[in-house]
A and B are shown apart, each in its own frame.
Chain A
Amino acid sequence: MTPEQIIDEMKKSNLRGRGGAGFPTGMKWSFVPKDTSKPKYILANGDESEPGTSKDRPLMEMDPHQLIEGILIAGRAIGAEQGYIYIRGEYHYIIDIVERAIGEAYARGYLGKDILGTGFNFDLSAHTGAGSYECGEESALMESLEGKRGYPRIKPPFPATVGLYGCPTVINNVETLSTAPAIIRQGGDWYAALGTPKNGGTRLYSISGHINKPGIYELPMGFNLKRMIEDVAGGMKDGKKLKAVIPGGSSCPLLSADEIDVAMDYDSVAKIGSMLGSGGLIIINEETCMVDLARRIMHFYAHESCGWCIPCREGTAWLRKLLDRFHDGGGRAEDIPLIDELSKNMLGRTFCPLGDAAALPTISIVKKWRHEFEDHLRGKCSFKPAEMIVGAS
């Protein structure tokens, strides 16, 4: 296949980026300039750090060769000869697996010079992050890979023209790249038909929380969320009632129990005011304190804010302190609108989407479970803490 044919198949597949933003993959590859003398790069983003998300891990752990193959396809499509797999620092055991797989691919002649006599050269290596959520943002990842502090870059220019080391770069999520081999083998049309219009194929969902069968499930795009919870993941644990669902990692607005009859594709979830995101579903039962949940989510983002821009740096830290105080019983009536307003003051104004990621779930929790905040004002928290749901602290 020629590079153009590869990109055409990818476009036909309606594959959209699995990192969270859902950008059409074929389109992204086609943005890379063809008439450049600069080297080009393929980056696999394996900095999977979004709370509730753990789908890139098994892909790298159990089938790293599929990822390598996907990277090679992308390399061939844009004319790159070097790729990097950037792996989340906490996945330290996975780096060994991936490096071993890369070694095997070199040994078989699938990587290196003149691959299988085709004249195509491609080198690949793995690199670990150092535990920063921000480095999952594509431009911060490139800074980190270049050995600099993981701050995001000003965009435009976008990576397709000015990426790693200032050269044209395609950066895709591990899952996205792992999907490419099947698309090339069986055709873009075949893949597109697995999903809904504009949302091709299947994707992996990491389902966790108060659910009977937590795990990672591959389901067609557009699969109904209610069925996902009740049929696929075995229903609510201990027969408790559902209170809320985080549909795509902790940075998405939360859905309440009455909103879950929805097709899980980018457009349908967007229509009801949330995001499909990274496919990290967190199922939350009726006993969970939503103020505590908001507090824990904010702890995560305040901890992970890189500190580059004022609204995210100061906003997340302020909200973290405010929510701590509020949940500990020190809340005041004016704090409830303040939590909402401070979140909105970050929203859309931060340098990178991390500020939005902190703001969106918070805004949705205040909006949909305001009464729980009001209960706290009266010194009442009748729920269980949310430590099972999002991280420690």
Chain B
Amino acid sequence: MAEVKQITFTINDEKLTTPAGTLVIEAAKGKGIEVPSFCYYPGLSLQAACRMCLVEVEKTPKLQTACTLVAVEGMVVKTDTPQVHKARKDMIEFLLSNHPLDCPVCDKGGECELQDMTFRYGLDHSRFNEEKLHYPEEKWSPLVYYDAPRCILCFRCVRVCDEGMDVKALGIGSRGVNSVILPNKPGELACEECGMCIDICPVGALTSGTYRYQTRPWEMKYVPDPCTHCSNGCKTTLGVRNNEILRANNRDHSGVNGEFLCAKGRFGFDFTHNPERVRQPLIRRDGRLEPASWEDALEEIARRLKQVHEKHGGNSIGVIGSNHTTNEENYLLNRFARATLGTNNIDHHRTADYAGLAAILGPKAKDAQATMADVYKANAVLLIGNDVTNQNPLVAWQIRTGVRHHQTRLYAINGQPSKIHRQAAHGVETAKGGEAAAVRWLATGEGQFEQSVSESLGQMKSALEKESDVAILFGADIQGGAIRDLVAFGSRLGGQTRYMALGDYSNSRGAADMGILPDRLPGYASLADKTERERFGKLWGGEIAATPGLTARGMMEAAVAEKLKAMYVVGANPVKTFEVAQPDRLAGLELLVVHDMFLTETAQRADVVLPAASSYEKDGTLTNTAGELQMTHRSIDPQGPRSDFDLLRILSHQLGMLGLGTPIRLRTPEAAFDEIRQNVSGYDVSVASLLAGGAQLTSAACKSPEPNYQAAAGAVFSSHDNLFSSGTLGRYCSRLASTKEAKDTPWSSSPSTQSWWYR
């Protein structure tokens, strides 16, 4: 990169050296000098509309806006003069002239930028003796309300919707003092309901349908948790009062997502209080699921598991894990399956071929992973498959922001239309499902396409070959051999090529990393590797067999065919996910145990249902699709349900008493995480940083490359969730589901989830 010239200028008598092109407002901030502003928002286009950031510049007669003023060599700026203070006072006075002083009932009261600025810079009395303007409040959607009188017209909302989200739902109506923000589509908010406009609003003009008039901000405690929906791992700060989550946002810009959150992250939390939630254990008696005590339920499970194990052996038991539960829970489940029950029949719904990427890259994976920040910083992004706008909203935001801020070139290959193609420097639309073939062509030149596609691919290839530092992102369409092709192509590109597999759920990556796979131990250690088997066997107090078990789909088929005798399902709904043809035949199982929050299609057929805590109700760690690990915290008491961690631990003790396996001694998720750090490849990350709220990049990878690794057919597939759905959880988020968009958008292009929602 070209060396950026440094310049020196003076601000409040202090000399300051900064890169040429720095805005005075930013340079001042770096020096700890506050230049107040409303309309200036880092990363969005400049406005110079609020005039709060006026500063004095030597040899310039008029005050200048620091938000548009570029510092140049020798410039002398003053932010602390009577003239500047007077200007700020006057601007606040103007702003307050029509602003309703309804702070006592305004949602923003206590965290309002106008309040803070008035306190700090404003007059202590009002000279406005006229009638204030008034407009009625407007409901733009069940999630977004607009109160025009409170609006100070900083246009942040309009800009974030246009520039940040590429949605362009908001505009400006009327003129002068009558100006208002309004939806561009008359009368409705035709948008992605991300709510970015609400959080970016400095005042209480835009308020959230889920939060408004619920509480005062200082009455809540704040718990920073990774969002429990998609795989991107956005930090969402939960506002909790009286054991209820009242809002979620990321106003402090902590986490890998900065200010970004999508509709699910911001509004998708009310599943915790959904009345359909299972709150006590259920045992099937006379064909019906009936409430039971924890003691009875756990005793029942232990007894019957022991029976099946004795009668048919460990291989007659199948275990299906979750892509929503924590790493610690998955780690424990792996131990529970392999060491306690003695089965390798363990798998989960794999939504990206993380194992494939780890196998093909081998130890190189450590340095070849793209982080969320890399997607923003990369010179170029090659995106193959996956509708990121809907399925990986943070990835889409990072791509859009990179394109906007530093002209990242996006190369996109997709078998379906995708909104992100608007940002693409080069987009290729292949035949449906043709992504892998296109990758094969890029790598080897093999394959036949329609002429228009092959020409376009050819142009893309030669453009890519001139790029360096490319981030390659791919969805579930690229797995096994296609990843091998992709890495072959990527390794020929200049600079550092980084990869990211795009999965669906909050711990999809963690489930794979923790070895919830029939052929892998934690950290993608191969079952064929005797040393690894013995290492984990010793750690877990059991013997691990070398033969890979059944895939999740295979287990469901075997269960229906009565080849499996018992199934243990944690936080998954395989009946729906794998479209089990004759689910009633699961009754043939001697035991079906399900941990879940809701009575899913699978739970409805269980013999014992254990009510599980959600990710917002327990401690642990989650790994996002990029491999970035974050801690999640118990924000509320689940009131009845228990964490899967506790359930597995207790059960291991029960089984231990019956002589099956050894009890799990790890008492807390933190203790389990310590064991993970010491024993799972790529997970030895800094705890200090995690405790401080940061993210740490993990790098679970195979010991040596396994270029021929191929997941079983049908084992890896995406649910094609969108901004309003996320497996089971999404349908229990009533606020999210109440939006027009949620009702309008086709839930999925995949039949596996389409019927799901409309059950």
Interface residues of chain A, those whose CB is within 8 Å of chain B, are: 132, 149, 154, 302-311, 313-318, 321-322, 325, 332, 335, 338, 345, 348-351
Contact = CB atoms under 8 A, between A and B. Distances in A.
Contacts of A302: 176-177
A348 B63 contact: yes
Given A318-B130, A322-B130, A348-B62, A305 B175 contact: yes
Q: Which of A310, A325, A335 has the most CB of B within 10 A?
A: A310
Nearest to A302: B176
B172 A313 contact: no
Interface string B173-191: 0111111000000000000
Interface string B521-554: 0000000000000000000000000000000000
The 7 closest A-B pairs by CB, nearest first: A307-B179, A317-B177, A314-B94, A321-B130, A305-B176, A345-B90, A307-B176
B87 A349 contact: yes
B101 to A, nearest CB: 15
B48 interface: yes
Contact of B94 (A303, A306, A311, A322): A311
Nearest to B152: A310
A321 B129 CA distance: 9
Nearest to B153: A307
A345 B51 contact: no
Contacts of A149: 172
Contacts of B153: 307, 310, 313
A364 to B, nearest CB: 19
Contacts of B68: 154
A322 B98 CA distance: 13
Interface string B96-109: 01100000000000
B131 A321 contact: yes
A22 B52 CA distance: 30
A300 to B, nearest CB: 11
Contact of A306 (B61, B97, B175): B175
Contacts of B94: 310-311, 313-315, 318, 345
B97 A318 contact: yes
Contact of B177 (A313, A325, A335, A338): A313
Contacts of B128: 318
B5 interface: no
B95 A314 contact: yes
B177 A322 contact: no
Interface residues of B, number: 35
A302 B176 CA distance: 7
Interface string B372-405: 0000000000000000000000000000000000
B65 to A, nearest CB: 8
A307 B178 contact: yes
A350 B62 CA distance: 10
B177 A310 contact: no
16 contacts: A154-B68, A307-B153, A307-B179, A309-B50, A310-B51, A310-B94, A310-B152, A310-B153, A311-B91, A313-B176, A314-B94, A314-B95, A316-B176, A317-B97, A317-B177, A350-B51
A318 B172 CA distance: 21
A21 to B, nearest CB: 15
B177 A305 contact: yes
Contacts of B51: 309-311, 349-351
B581 to A, nearest CB: 57
Contacts of A335: 129
Contact of A313 (B54, B130, B179): B179
Contact of B63 (A314, A318, A349, A351): A349
Contacts of A316: 176-177
A321 B176 CA distance: 14
Nearest to A153: B48
Contacts of B93: 345
Contacts of A154: 46-48, 68
Contacts of A306: 175-176
Contacts of B98: 314, 317
Between A311, A313, A349, the greatest number of chain B beta carbons within 10 A of the residue's beta carbon is seen for: A313
Contacts of A321: 130-131
Nearest to B96: A314
Interface in B236-268: none
A104 B176 CA distance: 40
Contacts of B127: 338
A338 to B, nearest CB: 6
Nearest to A319: B130
Interface in B193-252: none
A351 B48 contact: yes
B130 A308 contact: no
B50 A310 contact: yes
B261 to A, nearest CB: 29
Given A315-B94, A325-B130, A345-B90, A310 B49 contact: yes
Contact of B95 (A307, A310, A317, A351): A310
Given A307-B177, A325-B129, A349-B51, 16 more contacts: A303-B176, A305-B175, A307-B176, A307-B179, A308-B49, A309-B49, A310-B152, A310-B153, A313-B94, A313-B176, A317-B98, A335-B129, A345-B90, A348-B61, A349-B87, A351-B49
Nearest to B92: A310
Contacts of B129: 322, 325, 332, 335
A78 B69 CA distance: 29
User: Among B93, B94, B152, which residue has the most Cβ atoms of chain A within 10 A?
Assistant: B94
A348 B52 CA distance: 13
Contacts of A305: 175-177
Interface in B30-56: 46-52, 54
Contacts of B152: 310
A317 B153 CA distance: 15
Contacts of A350: 51
Contacts of A132: 175
A118 to B, nearest CB: 40
A78 B660 CA distance: 90
A310 B90 CA distance: 10
B177 to A, nearest CB: 4
Nearest to B91: A310
Contacts of A309: 48-51
Interface in B104-139: 127-131, 133
B153 to A, nearest CB: 6
A141 B133 CA distance: 29
